[in-house]
Amino acid sequence: MAKILIYEDNESDLIERYASLTGNHNVHVRHTPSGGFGDGWYHERFRKYGFNPDNFQDGYGNPSEESADVYFLDGLNGICFYFLRDLPRDRAFVNSDSTSITKQAKEQGFNVVEEETVDEIVDRITKGIVQ
Protein backbone atom coordinates (compact mmCIF):
# COMPACT_ATOMS: atom_id res chain seq x y z
CA MET A 1 0.00 0.00 0.00
CA ALA A 2 1.52 3.28 -1.15
CA LYS A 3 1.16 6.63 0.58
CA ILE A 4 -0.14 9.12 -1.96
CA LEU A 5 -0.25 12.85 -1.34
CA ILE A 6 -2.56 14.99 -3.45
CA TYR A 7 -2.57 18.79 -3.70
CA GLU A 8 -5.91 19.85 -5.12
CA ASP A 9 -8.15 22.92 -5.13
CA ASN A 10 -11.32 21.44 -6.59
CA GLU A 11 -13.49 18.84 -4.90
CA SER A 12 -14.95 17.47 -8.13
CA ASP A 13 -11.46 17.03 -9.62
CA LEU A 14 -10.34 15.23 -6.47
CA ILE A 15 -13.15 12.71 -6.75
CA GLU A 16 -12.91 12.26 -10.51
CA ARG A 17 -9.13 11.95 -10.68
CA TYR A 18 -8.24 10.10 -7.50
CA ALA A 19 -11.14 8.11 -6.02
CA SER A 20 -9.85 5.02 -7.86
CA LEU A 21 -6.72 5.07 -5.68
CA THR A 22 -8.50 4.96 -2.34
CA GLY A 23 -9.24 1.23 -2.28
CA ASN A 24 -5.62 0.11 -2.43
CA HIS A 25 -3.59 3.03 -1.13
CA ASN A 26 -3.21 5.44 1.77
CA VAL A 27 -4.40 8.67 0.14
CA HIS A 28 -3.77 12.05 1.81
CA VAL A 29 -5.21 15.35 0.58
CA ARG A 30 -3.97 18.93 0.99
CA HIS A 31 -6.42 21.51 -0.30
CA THR A 32 -7.48 25.13 -0.39
CA PRO A 33 -9.73 26.03 2.51
CA SER A 34 -12.63 27.15 0.27
CA GLY A 35 -12.99 24.06 -1.91
CA GLY A 36 -14.94 23.74 -5.13
CA PHE A 37 -18.36 24.18 -3.59
CA GLY A 38 -17.60 27.57 -2.04
CA ASP A 39 -18.61 26.67 1.51
CA GLY A 40 -15.39 24.96 2.58
CA TRP A 41 -14.45 21.33 2.38
CA TYR A 42 -16.58 19.06 4.53
CA HIS A 43 -14.18 16.12 4.72
CA GLU A 44 -16.76 13.58 5.79
CA ARG A 45 -18.59 13.87 2.45
CA PHE A 46 -15.61 12.21 0.73
CA ARG A 47 -15.97 8.99 2.69
CA LYS A 48 -18.55 7.70 0.19
CA TYR A 49 -15.87 7.98 -2.53
CA GLY A 50 -13.39 5.94 -0.48
CA PHE A 51 -11.36 8.80 1.00
CA ASN A 52 -10.48 8.78 4.70
CA PRO A 53 -11.55 12.16 6.13
CA ASP A 54 -8.77 11.93 8.73
CA ASN A 55 -6.23 12.23 5.88
CA PHE A 56 -7.44 15.68 4.76
CA GLN A 57 -5.69 18.91 5.69
CA ASP A 58 -7.03 22.42 5.22
CA GLY A 59 -4.27 24.32 3.45
CA TYR A 60 -1.25 22.99 1.61
CA GLY A 61 1.17 22.80 4.51
CA ASN A 62 4.89 22.70 3.87
CA PRO A 63 5.74 20.26 1.05
CA SER A 64 9.35 19.96 2.22
CA GLU A 65 8.05 18.43 5.46
CA GLU A 66 5.82 15.87 3.73
CA SER A 67 6.69 12.30 2.94
CA ALA A 68 4.90 10.09 0.43
CA ASP A 69 5.60 7.48 -2.22
CA VAL A 70 3.84 9.46 -4.98
CA TYR A 71 2.68 13.08 -5.20
CA PHE A 72 -0.01 14.48 -7.50
CA LEU A 73 -0.47 18.22 -7.89
CA ASP A 74 -3.20 20.16 -9.58
CA GLY A 75 -1.92 23.29 -11.33
CA LEU A 76 -3.29 25.35 -8.43
CA ASN A 77 -3.19 28.46 -10.63
CA GLY A 78 0.58 28.13 -10.90
CA ILE A 79 1.27 27.53 -7.21
CA CYS A 80 2.22 23.93 -8.00
CA PHE A 81 5.61 25.13 -9.27
CA TYR A 82 6.55 26.40 -5.81
CA PHE A 83 5.64 23.03 -4.29
CA LEU A 84 7.39 20.99 -6.97
CA ARG A 85 10.74 22.49 -5.95
CA ASP A 86 10.49 20.71 -2.60
CA LEU A 87 9.21 17.34 -3.80
CA PRO A 88 11.13 14.39 -5.29
CA ARG A 89 11.10 15.08 -9.01
CA ASP A 90 10.83 11.43 -10.00
CA ARG A 91 7.73 10.87 -7.85
CA ALA A 92 5.81 14.14 -8.32
CA PHE A 93 3.26 14.56 -11.13
CA VAL A 94 1.31 17.57 -12.32
CA ASN A 95 -2.30 16.63 -13.10
CA SER A 96 -4.02 19.72 -14.46
CA ASP A 97 -6.68 20.62 -17.02
CA SER A 98 -4.76 23.81 -17.78
CA THR A 99 -2.81 23.49 -21.02
CA SER A 100 -0.55 26.39 -20.02
CA ILE A 101 0.34 24.75 -16.67
CA THR A 102 0.94 21.41 -18.39
CA LYS A 103 3.13 23.05 -21.03
CA GLN A 104 5.14 24.95 -18.43
CA ALA A 105 5.59 21.80 -16.32
CA LYS A 106 6.94 19.90 -19.32
CA GLU A 107 9.26 22.78 -20.26
CA GLN A 108 10.66 22.77 -16.72
CA GLY A 109 11.20 19.02 -16.80
CA PHE A 110 8.45 18.01 -14.41
CA ASN A 111 6.33 14.89 -14.80
CA VAL A 112 2.81 15.36 -16.17
CA VAL A 113 -0.12 12.96 -16.05
CA GLU A 114 -0.89 12.28 -19.71
CA GLU A 115 -1.20 8.82 -21.23
CA GLU A 116 -0.77 6.86 -18.01
CA THR A 117 -3.61 6.88 -15.50
CA VAL A 118 -2.88 7.84 -11.91
CA ASP A 119 -3.33 4.16 -11.01
CA GLU A 120 -0.73 3.10 -13.57
CA ILE A 121 1.69 5.76 -12.34
CA VAL A 122 1.34 4.64 -8.72
CA ASP A 123 1.80 0.99 -9.69
CA ARG A 124 4.90 1.81 -11.74
CA ILE A 125 6.47 3.99 -9.04
CA THR A 126 5.77 1.58 -6.20
CA LYS A 127 7.23 -1.31 -8.22
CA GLY A 128 10.35 0.76 -8.90
CA ILE A 129 9.91 0.87 -12.66
CA VAL A 130 11.55 3.96 -14.14
CA GLN A 131 10.12 5.34 -17.33
Is the Cβ–Cβ distance between 78 and 101 less than 8 Å? yes
- Per domain, the residue ranges of the chain are 3-126
**pLDDT confidence band for 42 (50 / 70 / 90):** confident
What residue type is 43 in one-letter code?
Answer: H
CATH class of 3-126: alpha beta
Per-residue model confidence as pLDDT tens digits over 64-79: 999 999 999 999 999 9
**Residue 33 pLDDT > 70:** no
List, for residues 104-119, the tens digit of each pLDDT value.
999 999 999 999 999 9
Instruction: Answer with the residue of higher pLDDT: 11 or 112.
Output: 112
Strand partners, 107: none
Question: What is the dihedral sign for C-alpha 53, 87, 96, 36?
Answer: positive
pLDDT of 37 over the 50 cut: no
